[in-house]
Amino acid sequence: MPLNLITVPCLTDNYAFLLHNDDTGETALIDAPESRPIKAELERQGWTLSDILITHHHHDHIDGVDDLRGAARVIGAAADAHRLPDLTEQVRDGDELTVCGEPCRVMDVYGHTIGHVAFYFPTSGILFSADSLMAMGCGRLFEGTPDQMWATMQRLRALPDNTLLCSGHEYTASNMRFALSIEPDNPHLIERNERIQAARAANIPTVPSVLSDEKQTNPFLRADELPLKRAVGMESATDVESFATIRSRKDNF
């Protein structure tokens, strides 16, 4: 059976995610911005955590870990272990885990931070990307370089189109406003913006999103496309230079 996936709103605009396998009874949590809403959802479902997967060290992704851990296995990047809650398992790029009865691949996604990892479940087609690739955006480069984040974008873009993208924040509408400021006549942006606005008006999360939508509309995944390069005045630039310009514009938008 496919895994059950629940998006849990936390804080003001964060998301945590719960995965559950009905056959094994296992439940995994990906990131823990705060414990209260996660505990409430676990109680509502009658689930007990078997695993906590941590993507990176920022407080709005780890503050609830110690209150939630119980007997759960706590998994995070070896490169980030010195600033994460105590880990029971340290992982590295390319490691293969079994979580909720399914294979889970660890992927380095440096850029937003150094030590940031994503967790990819190929059987269910789910990617937990946190603050690397986001719906209509990518994370600010607090620690990494444009080269690192562009490499991350290319790596994640190579995953199958039907991959479900579980990113860490409800930033989609503001990210879309930025994308439309660059390409106001792009029909794919206009159509997706209508869907985003309808969802937010109904207080429905825009996360998860589908990777095929991101490949078609997310400017940070499309920094190597000539129409977008033209739109930002970078027609003759390298792909990394184009990406860096788009990221800088978003920082100041």
Binding residues, as ranges, are 56, 58, 60-61, 112, 131, 169
Q: Is the pTM of this model over 0.85?
A: yes
DSSP 113: S
Task: Check if the beta carbon of residue 126 is closer than 8 Å to that of residue 107.
Answer: no
Binding residues for Zn(2+), as ranges, are 56, 58, 60-61, 112, 131, 169
- Tell me how far apart the 2 most distant CA atoms of the chain are, in Å: 56
Each residue's pLDDT, cut to its tens digit, for the chain (253 residues) gives: 689 999 999 999 999 999 999 999 999 999 999 999 999 999 999 999 999 999 999 999 999 999 999 999 999 999 999 999 999 999 999 999 999 999 999 999 999 999 999 999 999 999 999 999 999 999 999 999 999 999 999 999 999 999 999 999 999 999 999 999 999 999 999 999 999 999 999 999 999 999 999 999 999 999 999 999 999 999 999 999 999 999 999 999 9
DSSP 179-234: HHHH-TT-HHHHHHHHHHHHHHHTT----SEEHHHHHHH-TTT-TT-HHHHHHTT-
Supply the pLDDT for residue 1.
Answer: 62
Superfamily of domain 4-251: Ribonuclease Z/Hydroxyacylglutathione hydrolase-like (3.60.15.10)
**Which residue's structure tokens are 């994503």?**
118
Count Cβ atoms within 10 A of the Cβ of residue 245 and give its class: 0-12 exposed, 13-18 middle, 19 or more buried. middle
Dist. CA 217–CA 90, nearest whole Å: 35
The separation between CA 20 and the C-alpha centre of its own chain, rounded to angstroms, equals 19
Spell out where the chain has E strands.
Answer: 4-10, 14-20, 27-30, 51-53, 73-77, 89-91, 96-99, 102-108, 117-121, 126-130, 133-134, 137-138, 164-167, 209-210
Q: Strand 117-121 relative to strand 51-53: parallel, antiparallel, unpaired?
A: unpaired
Dist. CA 174–CA 116, nearest whole Å: 23
